[in-house]
Amino acid sequence: MPFARIAEQARDVARAKPDVLLAWCTNYAAAPICAAVENDTGIPFWDATALGVLAALRAARITTRPPAAWGSLMRHAAC
């Protein structure tokens, strides 16, 4: 799925003012655009793969974070 299409879909869903946007689907890699969509909508945008990466980092006690483009999930969650 192209990033532009994922962003378009997220912005469409954001019009309903949910508490969080969640990308959870195979071949739906939203992590690299999460921060941009969050900036546009003001709503946290979490990617399922990013959630898994965060859990793996925590389990391995690694404090390195994925890129800032992955959004607020990575900025605010403690590793």
Query: How would DSSP label each residue in 15-36?
Result: TT--S-EEE-STT---GGGHHH
* Residue 50 and residue 73 in contact, taking contact as beta carbons nearer than 8 Å: yes
- Residue 44: CA count within 13 A, CB half-sphere: 14
pTM score, whole prediction:
0.83
2-27 pLDDT, tens digit per residue, is: 999 999 999 999 999 999 999 998 88
**DSSP code, position 73:** H
Domain ranges of the chain: 3-76
24-76 pLDDT, tens digit per residue, is: 988 888 999 999 999 999 999 999 988 888 888 889 988 877 777 888 887 76
- Chain position carrying tokens 């799925």: 1
